[in-house]
């Protein structure tokens, strides 16, 4: 199956759909980290209740399933989840005939950055503004 390629305009238009899904991913990821921390603390308790441990494990599994369903929904749209903790995603695209990734993170108003496929967030650059003569 061919990858969906986005223009910056299409990526920005998709944010109306993508932003709430990414918000859900970050919420689920935050909750999962809290549950893992709680589980580890419970396990260290000398009289840890197996019932409580099992309940926490079940909740961890449920939250993981919810997060993963959101990530799958993003993939169905053609968007790549890069960091569930910060809501970092990439939209595949092309710039001057080269494959690039339009980069967006939760909290940013618009898709305004890109990087090459082998570069990460640290390599992102502003999307060039077309010059009209």
Which tens digit of pLDDT belongs to each residue from 31-83? 999 999 999 999 999 888 899 999 999 999 999 999 999 999 999 999 999 99
Confidence at residue 90, expressed as pLDDT on a 0 to 100 scale: 97
Domain-embedded: residue 96: yes
Q: Are 109 and 121 in contact (CB under 8 A)?
A: no
Domain residues for 72? Answer: 8-126
Domain count for the chain, please give it.
1
Domain-embedded: residue 106: yes
Domain-embedded: residue 12: yes
Domain-embedded: residue 83: yes
Domain-embedded: residue 133: no
Domain-embedded: residue 132: no
What's the pTM? Answer: 0.90
Confidence at residue 7, expressed as pLDDT on a 0 to 100 scale: 95
Cβ neighbours of residue 92 closer than 8 Å, sequence gap 6 or more: 3, 4, 5, 6, 78, 80, 99, 100, 101, 102
Overall average pLDDT of the 90-111 stretch: 95
β-pair partners for 89: 81, 104
| Position with higher pLDDT, 119 vs 3 | 119
- How many degrees, rounded to 5, is the angle at CA 29 between CA 85 and CA 18? 70
Confidence at residue 122, expressed as pLDDT on a 0 to 100 scale: 85
Domain-embedded: residue 1: no
Q: Are strands 98-105 and 113-116 parallel, antiparallel or unpaired?
A: antiparallel
Domain-embedded: residue 59: yes
């Amino acid at each position: 199956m061919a990858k969906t390629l986005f223009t910056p305009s299409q990526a920005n238009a998709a944010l109306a759909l993508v932003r709430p899904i990414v918000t859900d991913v970050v919420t689920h990821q935050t909750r999962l980290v809290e549950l893992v921390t709680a589980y580890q603390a419970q396990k260290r308790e000398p009289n840890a209740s197996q019932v409580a441990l099992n309940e926490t494990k079940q909740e961890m599994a449920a939250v993981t399933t919810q997060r993963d369903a959101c990530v799958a929904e993003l993939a169905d749209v053609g968007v790549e989840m890069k960091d569930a903790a910060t809501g970092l995603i990439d939209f595949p695209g092309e710039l001057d005939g080269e494959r690039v990734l339009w980069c967006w993170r939760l909290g940013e108003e618009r898709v305004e950055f890109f990087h090459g496929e082998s570069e990460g967030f640290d390599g992102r650059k502003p999307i060039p503004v077309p010059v009209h003569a």
